[in-house]
Structure formats: structure tokens, C-alpha cells
Amino acid sequence: MKISGFTLIRNGSVLGYPFVQAIRSILPLCDEVIVNVPRSTDDTLARVKAIADPKIRILETEWDETQRTDGLVLSHHTNLALEQCTGDWCVYIQADEILHEDSIPSMRAAMIRELPNSRVQGLLVDYTHFYGSYRFYACAHSWYRREVRVVRRDPNIRSCGDAQGFRTVANEKLRVKISGGKYFHYGKALSPDKASAKLRSLTELYYPDESIVEQLSARPPAFYEDDEIVKPFTGTHPQVMQEWIAAADWTYRSRNPFIRFRKGYFWKDVSYRIENLTGLEIGVHKNYRLLR
């Protein structure tokens, strides 16, 4: 069995992404890692090259500054990397995600176990979403708990939308099983200044210029909302992130409301409380078809 890894990163240094750590985190699992580095304005390409691992193959691609529809440029460039994979399984990681090394044996075992079963098109990983800092993780229903991050090498399987997940070319959800892999998502735990720069960059992929100021001005002075439902993180961060996290010098405080009354959150928070009381999942994001 051969395992390919693939990722996309552009202007990762400017945006404060731990993209070098993301790449390093999947190297022990993969036989090759395809890294698509579209034309950047910082030292992202040089830093990827400096990893100097023979498993890494770098794609240097052009970036369409005029593509501002629903973040579709992200899935386009993700698919450019996916197309270069030669493994039986293809492991995707985004530039602000880290695979925890403790879960690598489980992921490998799941890939070996499911390889002969052609019904299984992909595998899920579990997520921990850090918010505001590396000391707290978000636990409300507005955060996805699992997502497809391993797909079978198949031209019928493509990254979709803004590269959140994968579907078939006919836009069908993939048939998947659980891998036991654990991804830590740090994109919402950046320092406030980097988080602001990230929001501006992402806003440019979804909205015209006149909407950018409006989007940025809606943020509070400390950037992060003070009513995110979070819990203290008491586990261990991935080894590749230890030095990065030790250097963090910002803090985050949440009011941790029981229910948020802001538009888009109320019913998700109600569902979250119902689950806490009954164990019944209601309204949890599932961009896949889970096979038992």
C-alpha cells in the first residue's frame, strides 16, 4: 500500500499559518507529499523547500487574483495537488491543521483494513478546533467534529467548494469510515494581528473589494468574539507544534454563555445543550455518508 499526502499553501508566512508543521506532521504517515505552492508574495516557497525531505514534491502554480467566487480557487488548487498523487490513499491536510502523531498508527491501520473494500471512498478524522488561543477549544455545534481527510485515489473524487471537504464529480457525498486520526485545527487560534490578516485574505476569495472593509470592521477590538463556547484544553499538542505554542504571547477570554442569541447560533446552541442532556445529535455538520 502506498500513501500520498497533499496540501496547498500560499502566503503562509504572512498569514501566520503553521504550514511547515502541517507538512511535517503527515510525513511519517506518507510515502510522498505533494505541496502546491501557488505564486506567493512572501517566503512560503523557500520555507517549503527548506524542509528538504525527499518525500516532498513541490508544485509551483499560478494564482488567479480575479477568482472571487465562493472560495472556489481553493478547491481548484487542492485538486491540482490531488491529481499528482500516486498512492492508493491520499491524505489531505490544510495549512492550519496538524495531524497528531499519536493517531498515525490508527490511521495507517484503517487504510490497510479498508483498502480492499471498494465501497469505502474515504476516511474521516476527528477534529479539535482551537479558538482565540492554544489553551481553549471550541465545542459548539457551529464547528464540524469530523471531516473527510483521506480519499481513495480515484478521478471521480474531487475537492469541492472552498476545499472544506470532498465529493464525487456528480456532487455526491463520499461513503466513508472512521480512521481514528486526530487533526488539530489552529486557524482560529492565531495571534489577533495574524487572524486579522487571514480574514482579509480569505474575504478577498469570497467578496468584492467594497465588502472587505465591512467584514473587517465587524470584528471586536481584540478580533475574537467573547461569546464563543469553549472548554480548556488539557491534552497534549502535537510534537511539531510544541515550540510554536510555547512562543505564543496572547490570551483569550470567553463569557462562555449558555445560549448565544446572535443570528446563526441560537438553534445550534440549543442543539448542543440537548445533546449534552440526552446524547442525541441534532444538526451536526456531516458532509459524508458514514458506513457502519
The string of pLDDT tens digits covering residues 135-187 is: 999 999 889 999 999 999 999 999 999 899 999 999 999 999 999 999 999 99
Q: What is the mean pLDDT of residues 53-67?
A: 90
- Residue range 230-283, pLDDT digits in tens: 999 999 999 999 999 999 999 999 999 989 988 788 888 888 888 888 877 776
Whether residue 102 is predicted with pLDDT greater than 90 in this model: the reply is: yes
The Cβ-side half-sphere exposure at 103, using a 13 Å CA radius, reads: 20
Residue 274: helix, strand or coil by DSSP? helix
Q: What is the mean pLDDT of residues 7-20?
A: 95
Whether residue 216 is predicted with pLDDT greater than 90 in this model: the reply is: no
* pLDDT for the residue 236: 97
| More reliable by pLDDT, 180 or 206 | 180
In words, the CATH class of domain 1-292 is alpha beta
* pLDDT for the residue 7: 98
The domain ranges of the chain are 1-292
Across 92-106, 205-219, 254-268, least confident range:
205-219
* pLDDT for the residue 68: 62
* Residue 148, strand partner residues: 124
Whether residue 67 is predicted with pLDDT greater than 80 in this model: the reply is: no
| More reliable by pLDDT, 245 or 70 | 245
Handedness of CA 278, 146, 183, 270 (dihedral sign): negative
* pLDDT for the residue 269: 86
Alpha-carbon distance 129 to 140, whole Å? 10
* pLDDT for the residue 60: 97
- Reported residue count of the chain is 292
Chain-centre distance for alpha carbon 123? 15
pTM metric for this prediction: 0.93
Q: Which residues contact 276 (CB under 8 A, 6 or more apart)?
A: none
| More reliable by pLDDT, 161 or 25 | 25
